[in-house]
Every structure is written in structure tokens, then in C-alpha cells.
A and B are shown apart, each in its own frame.
Chain A
Amino acid sequence: MSVLKTTTYDPPRTDGFVFSPENKAKADAYRTRYPEDRQASAVLWLLYLAQEQNGGWLSSDAIEYVAAELDMAPIRVHEVATFYTMFNLRPVGRYLVQVCRTTSCWMRGSDAITKACLEEAGTGALGEVSEDGVFSVVEVECLGACCNAPMFQVNDRDYFEDLTPESARAVMAKLRAGEEVKPGSQSGRAGSEPQEGAKTLLHLAESPAPAGDGA
């Protein structure tokens, strides 16, 4: 019988980790939100700051630094960091491309988007960092942009929507070249209106609203 072999959990180490002065100040500000004896509640904030500073991923050192900051046992912070999928425990590329694969996106062709992204990034598999260190591509569950499926998110921040394999490649090519790209729909529609133009409330477009009908 073949088995799924999980490896021993042991995130890579870096040569120590300390907050930059700015992040230290931010961390201290976050900590003031919690009572003196409930400082551990700030763990997610601090981990997120640490991930940002560490180039998008958390090393063992960063996790244990956060533990020491909050006076928690290291294992408790490891538990938190491994529970949430938005903490990366392996190095990632400069641009982390998270392709949504949940129902709406999948029905609209997310498999093809993933394939195109992997090819454009030049990495063999999901989660790997491209050789030039620019990209890593992963699949994630619903990012809540179902009206504009399929889509991907870059670096926890920018949504690129209404993708086709071609437009996905184009976005990534621009990112690689360092050119400016506009987040949002890549098919040109505004917001999440229907793709072939408006279908309802058409009378509003034809006749201006009667005066005095301020909603």
C-alpha cells in the first residue's frame, strides 16, 4: 500500500531574526491593544509583521523570536504559525501568486490559470520558487472574488481578476519586468458588473432619476 509520508515539521532556520526598529515600534503598538496578562493575543499581529519583514515567510528563528517577545513557549507559536495557511513556512518568491481554485474560479478555468502561471514563472511545481527568485505560485481556497472569477492574488494584497491564461501571463510578465500593472479586472469591466453590459435597472440609465427622489 502506498502511503502519504509527511515530513517532520522543521521550518528552515535563518541567521537569527530581530524586528527592525519600525516593526518593533509597530509591534509594541499592537501589544498595547491587549491587557498586560493577555499579551499572547498579539501573536498573529507579530507573526504577520515578522513574515513581512522576513521576505514573505516565517523561519524558525522568526517564530521563536515572536515567542520570546510575547513570553510564550516556542511550541505554542509554532502551533499558531502552522495552523494558518497565510503564514508561509518556506521561502517564497518576490511575488507570491496565489491562484484561487475554489468552485467559481475552478468552473471558470482556474486549472488553466494555474498551469499558465507555473509556465510563466518557470517553476516545476506549486510552492517552488522560480530560479530567478521572482515568483512562487500556490493554489489557495476562495479569496472572495467569485464574481470576477478566475483570479489570483499577489503578495497578500493585489487582486487580478477576470483572468485568461494569456492575461495571467501578461500580468506576470509585467511584474517580472518591473513595469506597473493595474490590479482589478483584466478584461476591462468595471467592478463586478455583468460581462456583456448591464442587464437590470436599465431604465435608470435611459431616464435620469426624477428630481426629489433622493434615496
Chain B
Amino acid sequence: MPKLTIDDKEIEVPAGVTVLQACEMAGAEIPRFCYHERLSVAGNCRMCLVELERAPKPIASCAMPVSEGMVIRTDSEMIKKARNGVMEFLLINHPLDCPICDQGGECDLQDQAMAYGFDHSRFEENKRAVTEKYMGPLIKTIMTRCIHCTRCVRFATEVAGVEDIGLVNRGEHAEITTLERAIDSELSGNLVDVCPVGALTSAPYQFAARPWELRKTLSIDVMDAVGSNIRVDARGRHVMRVLPRLHEGVNEEWIADKTRHACDGLARQRLDRPYVRGADGRLKAASWDEAFSAVASRLKGLEGKKIAAIAGDLCDAESMLALKDLMSDLGSPNLDCRQDGAKVGEGPRASYLFNTSIAGIERADAVLLVGSNPRWEAPMVNARIRKRFLQTGMPVGVIGESVDLTYQTQYLGAGPETLKELAEGRHPFAEVLEKAAHPMLILGSGALARADGPAILALARALAEKTGMIKAATDDEPAWNGFNVLQRVASRVAGLDLGFLPGEGGRATEDILSAVESGEIEVVYLLGADEFDTARLSKAFVIYQGHHGDAGAQAADVILPGAAYTEKNGTYVNTEGRVQLGRLAAFPPGEAREDWTILRALSAVLGKALPYDNLGMLRQSLVERFPVFAAIDQIEPAAWEPFGTEGAVDSAPFALPIANYYMTDPISRSSETMARCTEALGKGAVKATGTDG
């Protein structure tokens, strides 16, 4: 470990770090624009100059590796002058339009000009202007503001894996361009975050708010099962934008476009008051009392087994527990949180978790994807796989539909037959997995929603055991579990963890629907469940509790308006089994209420009051009965126990469950921005994958 002196302070740093990193470790702040710790080093902004003893001129600290005995000064008169000079050059062609710039108030250039720049400009010649570029519906460009740091080029090339952005021409004429094509990436919103100036700004958020007006709430995303850590910025009751927040284990510092930009859907199509379907068959606005009494009168005297409940994709654990408790008080065993009919969840925890963990992908050296398109089902997981692929060039095998995953893949086959060949060791890729030290398998949620789901689960398990994906900890290696189910909806793992599943003699989703059609089930309680053919519920009395007027609300006889994920304090468990807390950022609109309170109030009207009066009591009950919920933001390795049912598999190829990345749930379907993305990137039309497989 080299020792160096930074501003008269001796410090020992790991070999291979740069002078800039060493300075940070020593507590010296180094201004920078082009340097970004998750991107390659460009060294072109020259803002990070420091003085190195015996060097003839200041050095760019971001591009200089440390060596033994360096003596660095970051606070000398020479460095002050150097920063002044660099700043003056950067501002030569930068317009003085901070008052109308969306980056104003959170702009690196603005802040650093204040800290390190001159108070006036000596430049009297013409400034240059650059025409705007098209980068898709999410990014607004004002290219005159660009300082050519090339962070966006490096992000797109390295992290997002789409070589769409580049720097053309040179010198005075240099400009960033996309050749007028939209950036075909699910991570394009992050370009706005990496841009240190106002050249790339969020198009949906343009001219909407100033950063200092916003109330910032640290929360958790529910648009997929990754549970990205987000910051929700709200003004009054409106969520203005969603930004990523650092979590090395989950999303690093990126988030996917749906996470970031679906938030305008929170203001549209909202259910803001209860409704009851009248005698004329039309939904009429009602008061809470009327809605509750309509439910109570229909449930009166009804046998428990004639009632069913289905939990949707965006539910928090608390409301699912409250509904589960209410159903068991009503004597109903018919409940399910798997709207897509996935055949997983009854077994041990390891059978439905992403056991490797997302950060664990960075230990893998061979991957097999089965019936999954992680690019759409979990963009942050895909970004990790790509990161690992770039580090090692590891082999990635794909069974199922072959799509562009931004890294090199080997197509192995279309259906379960290939999986069987692998499990029986008859396929050459089985050898690749066996030879790997840390092989992993990612089973898509779509592959488990088939009728032969349990058999596929058993096959995958057999393959995992056979190719050494399950390794106990040794003296020099921590344990390795390479068996992964990639869930795609936020509520699923929590639902399975707290047993929102058919009880004894109970029915699962498909059974519930057919029992409704045959008249065996008369009342269905939908907790934000919209992702199935709700027309099949026409014979039943449907209670819909949720936040958007989507498929479920259409079919409902009583609508109880609930809160969306930004409007309640809720617990979510991501696909790795990581328990995280979402927080209230803005209150629900109109008469809508937090979901567990609705269930609590309804239970009182039904005369079966649930035993918790506040969120603390509910959470305590949750933790007592299901201890996994106690470990907030920790991953408990799940025990490896038998699961899956061996059996015949259907030869039909695996179909991917998502047809359009930008619209997968009631919030994103209501979002204007997501509609624009769908239009611009043609996901629905060009690459339809959901039902045509």
C-alpha cells in the first residue's frame, strides 16, 4: 500500500487508486466534471488539477495513479489559479442562462463556478451555439450548455450498453450527438443524472419545479421486483420526480426509466373516492360508510369458502397481511398473491428468491438465463450482469426467446427440452456451468407461470445441484447459491413470505376465476389486482381496493380508494428477499386512504375488528409471525431445501411475460411519459414478446 502526503497529511491508500481518490480519502475535496467513479476515466475536463511535488505542471488527479512517496498539494496558490483558469475556459462557451435552466440549484458547474471560478468573464468574443439533438422522449437537450465531459457517452457505452451517443467533430466544433435517434435503453434517464450541467435534462420534468421547493422522501420503488432505492421529490400533494439513491447492493446509483418516469401516472386515472355500483349497473360515487355497508350487506351470512381474495403487484406487506387476516376471520381459504398463476411459493424460501443476490452477480463466472428477459423484467439486474460480463467476458447462455441483452449471449434453445438436456448433462453448456467456480441460473417468472411450472422448477433445481451451483462456505470462500428466480413484481416475495397463498382446501388464482364462472365463489376482493382478465369476474360481487381506475376497477361493484406506493408507509421485499421500507412522500388524493387502514376499518364494520390500531402494531404482528420481516435491508441466505415437483414438461417454448416494458402496471399505464416512450421506441409493435411466443 503506497504512502503519500496530501496537504501535509500522511495517508496510506490501496495500490491502484487514483490521486483523486486518495485526496478524497484524505478529506481534500477535488472539483471535477468528467470524472465519475462508476465510469471509465476520461481526463478531459481538467478541473481536478492538483500539484505534485517535482512535477513541472499541475496534474489531472483523476487520471494519475498513486505511487509511493507522492507529495500532493490541493490547496496551493498555484492550484487555486489553475482551477480558476480551467473554470474560465469551461465558461467561455457556456451560456449564462442559469435562471431558465432546469439544472439550476443542483448544477455541478454552477456550484463549482461559485467555489472555484472568477466573478466575471474576460471573454469578449462570440460564444458558440449548438443545435439541440434528439435523444428520445425522456431527455431534453440544450447542447449549447454542454462542456464535453463525455460522461453521457461513457454511460451509454459502458453501463447501458447501447452505443448510440458519441462526440463528433473536434475542438471548437465538437458536439455530442445521437445522429437523431432515440436512445434505445431502459437506463436512459440516468444520462440526466450523470450530466454535470444542464445540457441533458429530464423532458417530462422540464420547467416543473426548482430543487429547493421539493420535499425529498427516501423510499423504495415498486415498478419491478428489484426494489431500487429512490428519492421521491414532491411538492404539496404532487410527486414531481423520482431520483435514484445510492445502494451498492441493489441499484448502485442508477434506476430504470420506468422507475424514474412513471410517476406522472400517479396524478392520472386516480380513484379518489369510494364508488358503489347501483341497481342500474353504473358506478356511483359514494361515501366510505355507504361503500362499507354495501360490502357488509353482501358478505352477511356468506360462507367463507365462497369468498376469495387476490393481491396485486404493487401491494405492501402490511396491507396484504391485513387482508389475509381478514380473510381468515371470514373463514376463506381462497387467497393468492400470484395473479400471473406462477407455480412457486409453497416451497422453501430459496425456491422463489434471487439467492445469489444482485451484488452477488459480481462473483459469478457463468450465467444461464431461462425464460427471462432481465433487460425488461429487472433492468438493474441486467446492468449488473453486463457489468460482470465486461469484467470477465463470462459465458451467458439463454434458453427461451433470444433478445438483445446488451452483452454477448449464447442461444441454447427455446423451451424446457433444452433445460432438460442441460440437467441431464447432454448439452455442451452443462460442461461450461460445471467448470465455472460460481455458476448461476436465472429462472424467469414467465417460465414458472406455465402449467408445467413445478416440473420446470424441479428441473432447474436438479440442474443447479448437478452443476455445483450450491456451495457451502469454506475457509477462503463464502457460501454460493447460484439458483435464482427473477421475480418481476414488487409485492410477490412479501406475499409469499407472509403466506398470501391458498389455505387448506383453498383455491389459487386460476381456480378462483373458474370457480367464479361456475358460481362457487360469489365475492372476490381485489387488492390492487389488475393483471388478469377481469371480465371473468362478471358473475361475482367484486370489491376493488386500489389506487388506479384500471382493469380491476372496471369490474368492481364496490371501489375502495387506496394509496399508491408514494402515498403510504409500507414494507416491500425485493426479489433477493431484502426487506425495505417505502415511505409516505405525499398524501393520497381526495378520500383515498392508506391501504391497511381501509381493511382495518372494513373489518370493524364487518364485526371482526383486526387486532391492530396503528401501523406499529401491525408491523409488530408482521414481525412476530414472520421473522424475516424483522431484518430490514439485510439478506438472510435462504436454506437449501427440497422443492419443485418432478414431472413431464410441455415442449412449448418459453414465452416472455412482458410485451411492453414501459407499461406493466396501473401506474405506468396511466403515465403519459410511458405512453410517449412506447410510441417512440415501438416496444409494443416491434418486439412484441408477451403472448406471441
Binary interface encoding of chain B residues 105-129 relative to chain A, with 1 for a CB under 8 A from any of its CBs, else 0:
0000000000000000000001111
Q: Is B169 within 8 A of A9, CB to CB?
A: yes
| Set A1, A3, A10: member contacting B180, Cβ < 8 A | A10
Binding stretch for chain A, among B76-84, B171-179, B229-237: B171-179
Chain B's closest residue to A5 (CB) is B129
Binary interface encoding of chain A residues 95-106 relative to chain B, with 1 for a CB under 8 A from any of its CBs, else 0:
000000000000
Q: Is A74 within 8 A of B179, CB to CB?
A: yes
Does B31 count as interface, using CB distance less than 8 angstroms? no
Q: Is B126 within 8 A of A1, CB to CB?
A: yes
Complex Cα distance, B131 from A2, in Å, reads 15
Q: For window 394-432 of chain B, which residues contact chain A by CB distance below 8 Å? A: none
B173: chain A residues at CB < 8 Å are 6
Binary interface encoding of chain A residues 36-63 relative to chain B, with 1 for a CB under 8 A from any of its CBs, else 0:
0000000000000000000000000000
Q: For window 434-472 of chain B, which residues contact chain A by CB distance below 8 Å? A: none
A83: chain B residues at CB < 8 Å are 168-170
B164: chain A residues at CB < 8 Å are 73, 75
A3: chain B residues at CB < 8 Å are 126-129
| Set B126, B131, B169: member contacting A82, Cβ < 8 A | B169
Whether A4 contacts B169 in the complex (CB less than 8 A), given A10-B180, A76-B163, A78-B179, comes out as no
| Set A1, A5, A7, A75: member contacting B179, Cβ < 8 A | A75
Q: Is B130 within 8 A of A75, CB to CB?
A: no
A87 to chain B, nearest CB (A): 11
Chain A's closest residue to B179 (CB) is A75
Q: Is A8 within 8 A of B177, CB to CB?
A: yes
Query: Which of B127, B128, B130, B172 has the largest count of A CB atoms less than 10 A from its CB?
Result: B130
Complex Cα distance, B172 from A83, in Å, reads 12
Q: Is B168 within 8 A of A79, CB to CB?
A: yes
Q: Is B128 within 8 A of A79, CB to CB?
A: no
Binary interface encoding of chain B residues 127-154 relative to chain A, with 1 for a CB under 8 A from any of its CBs, else 0:
1111101000000000000000000000
A4: chain B residues at CB < 8 Å are 126-129, 172
Instruction: Report the count of interface residues on B (CB-CB < 8 A).
Output: 22
Does B684 count as interface, using CB distance less than 8 angstroms? no
Sort chain A's interface into a size bin: 10 to 19
| Set A1, A73, A79: member contacting B127, Cβ < 8 A | A1
A2: chain B residues at CB < 8 Å are 126
Does B167 count as interface, using CB distance less than 8 angstroms? yes
Complex Cα distance, B179 from A196, in Å, reads 55
Query: Which of B126, B165, B169, B180 has the largest count of A CB atoms less than 10 A from its CB?
Result: B169
Does B304 count as interface, using CB distance less than 8 angstroms? no
Binary interface encoding of chain A residues 5-45 relative to chain B, with 1 for a CB under 8 A from any of its CBs, else 0:
11111100000000000000000000000000000000000
Q: Is A6 within 8 A of B168, CB to CB?
A: no
Q: Is A6 within 8 A of B166, CB to CB?
A: no
Complex Cα distance, B168 from A10, in Å, reads 10
Chain A's closest residue to B163 (CB) is A73
A147 to chain B, nearest CB (A): 29
Complex Cα distance, B168 from A4, in Å, reads 17
Chain A's closest residue to B177 (CB) is A9
Chain B's closest residue to A85 (CB) is B170
B165: chain A residues at CB < 8 Å are 75
A74: chain B residues at CB < 8 Å are 179
Complex Cα distance, B174 from A9, in Å, reads 10
Q: Is A9 within 8 A of B163, CB to CB?
A: no
Q: Is A79 within 8 A of B166, CB to CB?
A: yes
Complex Cα distance, B169 from A206, in Å, reads 56
Complex Cα distance, B172 from A3, in Å, reads 13
| Set A1, A6, A78: member contacting B130, Cβ < 8 A | A6
A37 to chain B, nearest CB (A): 10
Complex Cα distance, B129 from A1, in Å, reads 11
Whether A76 contacts B166 in the complex (CB less than 8 A), given A9-B175, A10-B180, comes out as yes
A94 to chain B, nearest CB (A): 26
B178: chain A residues at CB < 8 Å are 75
Q: Is B131 within 8 A of A79, CB to CB?
A: no
Q: Is A6 within 8 A of B131, CB to CB?
A: yes
Complex Cα distance, B133 from A75, in Å, reads 14
Chain A's closest residue to B178 (CB) is A75
Whether A7 contacts B170 in the complex (CB less than 8 A), given A75-B164, A75-B179, A76-B163, comes out as no
Complex Cα distance, B129 from A2, in Å, reads 10
Query: Which of A6, A73, A75, A78 has the largest count of B CB atoms less than 10 A from its CB?
Result: A75
Complex Cα distance, B130 from A79, in Å, reads 17
Complex Cα distance, B165 from A2, in Å, reads 29
| Set A5, A9, A73: member contacting B168, Cβ < 8 A | A9
Complex Cα distance, B693 from A99, in Å, reads 63
Binary interface encoding of chain B residues 359-401 relative to chain A, with 1 for a CB under 8 A from any of its CBs, else 0:
0000000000000000000000000000000000000000000
Chain B contacts to A: CB under 8 angstroms: 126-131, 133, 163-170, 172-173, 175, 177-180
List 9 additional contacts besides A2-B126, A6-B131, A9-B175; criterion CB under 8 Å.
A4-B128, A4-B129, A4-B172, A8-B180, A9-B179, A73-B164, A75-B163, A75-B165, A79-B168
Sampled A-B contacts (11; CB under 8 Å) = A3-B128, A3-B129, A4-B127, A6-B173, A6-B175, A8-B177, A74-B179, A75-B165, A75-B179, A76-B166, A78-B177
Chain A contacts to B: CB under 8 angstroms: 1-10, 73-76, 78-79, 82-83
